[in-house]
Structure formats: structure tokens, C-alpha cells
Amino acid sequence: MIYREAGQYRTSYLDDGQTFPIRLDRWAHWLLIAVAVLVVPFIINDYWANAILLPFLIYAIAALGLNILTGYCGQVSLGTGGFMAVGAYACYKLMTSFPDISIAIHVVLAGLITAIVGILFGLPSLRIKGFYLAVATLAAQFFLVWLFNRVPWFYNYSASGQISAPERTIFGLPVTGPETSAAVTYLFCLAFVLASAWICRNLTRGALGRKWMAIRDMDIAAEIIGVNPLHAKLTAFGVSSFFVGIAGALFFSVYLGAVEVGEAFGINKSFLVLFMIIIGGLGSILGSFLGAAFMVLLPVFLKNVLTGGLGWPTDLAAHLEFMIVGGLIVFFLIVEPHGLAQLWRLLKEKLRLWPFPH
Amino acid sequence: MLDVATDPGADQGRITGETLLDLRNITLRFGGVEAIKNISFDIREGEIRAIIGPNGAGKSSMLNVISGFYVPQEGEVWFNGSRRPPMKPYEVARQGIARTFQNIALFQGMTVLDNVMTGRLNAMNAGTMSQALWFGKARREEVENREKVERVIDILEIQHIRKVPVGRLPYGLKKRVELARALAAEPHLLLLDEPMAGMNVEEKEDMSRFILDVNDELGTTIALIEHDMGVVMDLSDRVVVMDYGRKIGDGSPDEVRNNQEVIDAYLGVSHD
């Protein structure tokens, strides 16, 4: 009964197009950000940071990126892992080549480099569509992992073939390397998440977003109203890879610290991020977050309940997780292709009228 | 005496402006099939030009030639006084030609407002940076173009469904939204491919009124394909009749109606 929009008048077109048209939503989202920025850093510990919050934040950026490409522009990509690897290796090369420049700048530059690589691999999308494009991006995935394994220049000729992040600081506080504190790495990633989400929302609500969605929904009609398919698809690949690259850079430098490319950025990563946006909601910013949270929390939850609570063997719990995720993918694809975000939207629509049925 | 203003046939055959689009000796082949055989006709500024003919006559192919989907093997397209080189559909759109489709081609995943806003995409050219930060030009453009779109929404009376996803709309409204999207681009030339197919009488009357309003108030030149002869004769200033890819008639509705070849094409002739 509190969740109402009655009496909230919008008097300009800018007001009408705002992200949270209902006042309560607006407050709730500011409150959430305030808690994330002002409260969480003081109560966070290493377990929460490493098991839940850091992976959630970083995957959320990757999911936002893939959602631009797949959810908004309709181009299925199985190359997310490969593009994350580009971000990670670009970040590593920048960190070791220019040690004096801030890590924050390196991460953004790594994103830009990934964007260029993404545009290159997006070129085939002009000729091929759907399933065939997915296979082409799959080729990108395997090629990139192979490249980073085989060319020693990328890992600075280290004996192990791994890359490991040297210590870098922000305002004198270490964010990479062995000496980091949970609160600092958390805030560092959170800053990137908030900026990414804001930029994604801005891009998708304006002219560029409409171009992408037009291409997704009906490419012939999009072309007839004046959308250049080349421009629309390549910008989608570029913007998407930018965020995926940032996610890869953070995943390597802040979260893992040391990376072996086949293990950290294999095809499994591509599928994981794709599952996030399918379960969370294709073509939805909120969906990217919900999907990332779901896929990060589910294994933790199952582990705690099944292994910790019921005393099941670890392998049985792990297999059950595969089955649940697989089942959910099928369920969502059939029953609710727009994912958790759509369920949330429906709930809110009901809530606006509650207690009346319609 | 008839009051000229209320006589539905009063402005038929009215003198309209300069030639806007001139099709000269267009021939279009698909392999061995000649879909369009050496057809020439023109569309004048400000008129409503109908293209009619039995099924398979090549009307839609003609529209696709005009909107750049098909490149004819022979012939020239002159638009706005200059010869048009072969160009992609999106380049044609930027020249000021908009169209609707026989089967509705709306963007199903978007709301009515977003669909109509896509019609303004050619007028929106803020840089990616400006859009990413939602600052300066991008923000200004959004409001300016929204104002133009709202005017179209007003004319076509679809205010109440602004925020509804188009997938939920009934057929007649979808057709209207598609017209709105084409109109939002403020085209010089509007191509309508069977705007009234599958509508009931009331919806047809509404649509006819909208087409006349658009032609009258916005001064948009309109070329339309339609099977409902009553509608065609009432709306159009001049009519082209096609049959088996050939042009068999061209002129005011009255001239066409009395053309023996046209009557034969529609009613059939006995082969004895």
C-alpha cells in the first residue's frame, strides 16, 4: 500500500525518462548504494570479500558487458572468457610496463584495448547471424587463450607461464598484491561497478540503445529507418568488450592476483557469464546484477547447506549444483526468457495495485 | 450545388507540386523472372499516389526498389531532381524516405514510445561519450526529439499506449504505431505497403483519416499500395495500375476506373 505512484507528477520529458520513475524505487536505490559504500566496508571480512562480494561485483561488470551485446543488440557471444583474458593481460602488461601510473587508469586502458579487440572479432557479425556468430565468437575464445599461452611476451617470459599482479596502491592503500585489505579491494571494485552500471544505463536509454534494440528485434526494419547495421553492431561489440575487459582486468589484478589463462579464462567463464544474463534477464541492467548474484551465491549457499549443514560429501554437492544450474537455464529459457529481472518487474506491477487484483 | 469542401471527390486530380520521385524504365529481375518490366512513373510533391494491381503484380517489389532493398537491373531512380546512385536502405532513409511494411515490422521488445523514437535516430547524432555520461548534447537531443515524437503521437492518437510494449497491442494499433514510427522521421516521401490490410471498416476509416491528416497537415508526399478500391479511389490523387510486372494504367482515379485494360485485369477477360 506504500508502493504507489499516485500524486507523483512528471512535468518534463527528462523526468518522464528517468531510471526510477517511482519515488520509492528511487529512494531504495540510493539507500542501497549508501549501504554498499558507507556500511559494508566497515563490516566486511576476508571471507565475505573473497567468497561473495568481489566475485559478485566483478562478474556483475562482465554480465553488464555481455548483456549489452547479447541482451540489447541480440548478438550471441561465447567469447566472454577470451575477452576477459585480453583485459587481464592488457592490464598486466600495462602494470609492469608503466609502474608509476595509477592502477585505476590501467584498468580503464585495459578495457579500451579489449574494446578494440572486441570490434575486430565483431566484424564477422555483419555477415553471419545467430548460431553461426556464436560459433565464430567461440573461435575467438579459443584463439585468444591459445595466444596468451603461446606468446611469452604476454606473460613477460615468466618460467611458469602465469601472470601475477605486482603490488599497486590507490591513495597509499594497496589494492593488488598480497597486502590488500578486504575493504579497500571491495571499494575499488564497487567504484567500477557503479560507474559501469551508470554508463550502461545511459547508453541503453538513449539513441545508441535504441539502435541496438532495433537491430536485435528486427534488423531489416532497423535498416529501413536508417540504422547502419555496421555501426550498431560494432559499437555493441566495442562497448560490450570494454566492460568485459575491465571485468577481466579486475578479476586478474584485484581478485585472483595470479592467473593461468586456460584455467581462469577458459570456455567455462564464457558460459558462466552467459548463464548469468540468461537467468538474470536479457536486456536488463538489473538482470545483470541479479544473475551475477545468483550464480555467485548459489554454490556458496549449496556448499554451506549441503556440506556444512547436512554433512553431504563435497563432490555430491558440487554435482547437485550443476544439475540445479542446468535445470534453471532450461526453466528460464522456456518459462521466463527475461529472467529474474522480469519476475521482479511483475512483482512490482502487482505491488502497485495491491491489495486489489487489477 | 455541391459544397466543394465537403465533397469527398473534390480535391481528386488536384494540381500538385514538382516531381519528387521519378522512376524511369525500371526493370527488376530475380533470376529468370521479371518482377518489374520497364515501368516509368513519377510521384509529385504533396500528392497521394496509389499503386494498385492484382496479387503478384510487382507492387511491393516497386516499393522495395524505391526504398533501396532491391537494386533494379535497368532504369534510373531520380529523387529530388538528381539521379540516385545504388544505395543501402539506411542511406535511402537518410535522404528522407520512410516506409511501413505489409507485415508489421515493429520492434517487439520495445515500448510504443521507444519504437516511435527510433524514427528519430537519423536526427540524433550525439557522440558516444556524451551519451555514456548522459550529459550535454545527448540529453538535449533526447528532449528535442521527444517533443517531435509527441507531436506525431498526438496526430495519430496513441497517447494512451505510449508506455505499452508493442507486443501487447492489437493489430490495428500496431499498424498505427508503425505509421507513427515512419512519420517521426519527418520524411519527404512516405511509402505505405497495404496500410489497411486486415482491418475492419472502422479501423480503415480511422487509418484513412490519419493518412489524409498527415498529407494535409504535414504536407508529406505519400505513395501507398492498397487493395481496398473504395479507399484508393477516395484517398489518392493519381493511381498507377500494375499487372504481371507491367504498367497498365496511370492517371486520376476516374481515368483508371474507366480504363478497359484495368477492368480486364481485375475482372478477367474471356479467352475465346
pTM for this prediction: 0.90
Q: At what angle do helices A267-280 and A130-150 cross, to 10 degrees?
A: 140
Which residue of chain A is at minimal alpha-carbon distance from B119?
A225
Q: Are B139 and A199 a contacting pair at CB < 8 A?
A: no
Q: What is the distance between the alpha carbons of residues A110 and A89, in angstroms, rounded to a whole number?
A: 8
Measured between CA atoms, the residue of chain A closest to residue B135 is A202
* Span B84-97, pLDDT tens digits: 998 999 999 999 99
- Given the C-alpha cell 500500500, which residue does it identify? A1
State the pLDDT confidence band at B8, using cuts at 50, 70 and 90.
very low
Q: What percent of chain A has pLDDT over 90?
A: 65
Q: Which residues of A touch B142 (CB under 8 A)?
A: 13-14, 17, 206-207
d(CA B111, CA B113): 5
Quick one: which H or E segment has residue A181?
none
Q: Which of B44, B40, B94, B45 is nearest to B62 (CA)?
A: B40
pLDDT of B120 higher than 90:
yes
Chain B: residue whose CA lies nearest to A210: B118
d(CA A257, CA A103): 13
pLDDT, one tens digit per residue, over A34-71 is: 999 999 999 999 888 999 999 999 999 999 999 999 99
The answer on pLDDT for B213 being more than 50 is yes
B41 secondary structure, DSSP code: E
Q: What is the pLDDT of residue B3?
A: 39
Joined grid coordinates for residue A190 = 564497487
Does the beta carbon of A21 lie under 8 angstroms from any beta carbon of chain B?
Answer: no
* Local confidence band at A140 (pLDDT 50, 70, 90 cut-offs): very high
pLDDT digits (tens, 9 = 90+) for A290-300: 999 999 998 88
Q: What is the pLDDT of residues A13-32, one digit of tens each?
A: 887 878 888 888 889 999 99
Q: What is the mean pLDDT of chain A?
A: 91
Categorize the per-residue pLDDT at A308 as very low, low, confident or very high, splitting at 50, 70 and 90. confident
B9 has pLDDT over 90: no
User: Per residue in B141-168, pLDDT tens?
Assistant: 999 999 999 999 999 999 999 899 999 8
φ/ψ of B249, rounded to 5, equals -165, 150
A240, A140 Cβ separation under 8 angstroms? no
pLDDT of residue A307 exceeding 90: no
Rounded Cα distance, B192 and B43, in Å: 14
- A202 to chain B, any CB pair closer than 8 A? The answer is yes
- Which one, of B217, B266, B272, B224, lies nearest residue B243 by Cα? B266
**CB of A76 within 8 A of CB of A133?**
yes
Main-chain phi, psi angles of B225, to 5 degrees? -100, 130
**Whole-number pLDDT of residue A118:** 96
Helices (DSSP H) in chain A: which residue ranges?
13-16, 23-34, 40-43, 46-47, 54-66, 80-97, 103-122, 130-150, 182-205, 207-217, 219-224, 229-250, 261-264, 267-280, 285-302, 314-335, 339-353
Task: Give the DSSP letter string of B117-180.
Answer: HHTTGGG----HHHHHHT-THHHHHHHHHHHHHHHHHHHTT-GGGTTSBGGGS-HHHHHHHHHH
- pLDDT number for residue A358: 67
Q: Decide if pLDDT at B5 tops 50.
A: no
Q: How far apart are the CA of B140 and the nearest CA of chain A, in angstroms?
A: 9
pLDDT-based confidence at residue B263 (cuts at 50, 70, 90): confident
Average pLDDT over residues A326-343: 88
| A-chain residues near B67 (CB < 8 A) | 224
Contact A5, A18 (CB under 8 A): no
Note the ipTM here: 0.86
Cα A187 to Cα A37: distance, rounded to the nearest angstrom: 7
A177 band by pLDDT with thresholds 50, 70 and 90: confident
Per-residue pLDDT at B16: 64
Say yes or no: A349 contacts chain B, CB-CB below 8 A.
no
Amino acid at B83: R
Distances (CA, A) of A102 to A84, A98, A174, A199, B122: 20, 9, 11, 22, 40
Q: Is A311 exposed, middle or buried (0-12, 13-18, 19+ CB in 10 A)?
A: exposed
Predicted pLDDT at B6: 42
Nine-digit cell at A12? 518534463
Mean confidence (pLDDT) of chain B:
88
DSSP 8-state symbol, A165:
P
| pLDDT for A319 | 87
CA separation, residue A16 to residues A19, A257, A283 (Å): 9, 44, 20
CA A81 to chain centroid, in Å, comes to: 12
* Percent of chain A's residues with pLDDT above 70: 99
Residue B208 cell numbers, joined:
484513412
For residue range B242-261, what is the model confidence (pLDDT) as tens digits?
Answer: 998 999 989 999 998 888 88
- Burial track B26-45 (b if 16+ CB lie within 10 A, e otherwise): bbbeeeeebbbbebebbbbb
Confidence of residue B14 (pLDDT cuts 50, 70, 90): low
Q: Where in chain B are the domains? A: 107-177
Domain ranges of chain A: 46-266
The per-residue pLDDT for range A78-102, each reduced to its tens digit, is: 999 999 999 999 999 999 999 999 9
Taking contacts as CB-CB distances below 8 angstroms, the residues of chain B near A68 are: none
- Which of B183, B124, B126 lies closest to B149, judged by CA? B183
Tell me the residue ranges of DSSP E strands in chain B: 19-30, 33-44, 48-52, 74-79, 82-83, 97-99, 189-193, 221-225, 238-243, 246-251
Which residues of B lie inside 8 Å of A (Cβ-Cβ)? 67, 69, 88-90, 93-94, 98-99, 101, 105-110, 114, 117-119, 121-122, 124, 126, 128, 131-134, 138-139, 141-143, 146-147, 150, 181-182, 185
Burial class (CB in 10 A: 0-12, 13-18, 19+), B69: middle
Chain B interface includes A19 (CB < 8 A): no
How many Cβ atoms sit within 10 Å of the Cβ of residue B102? 15
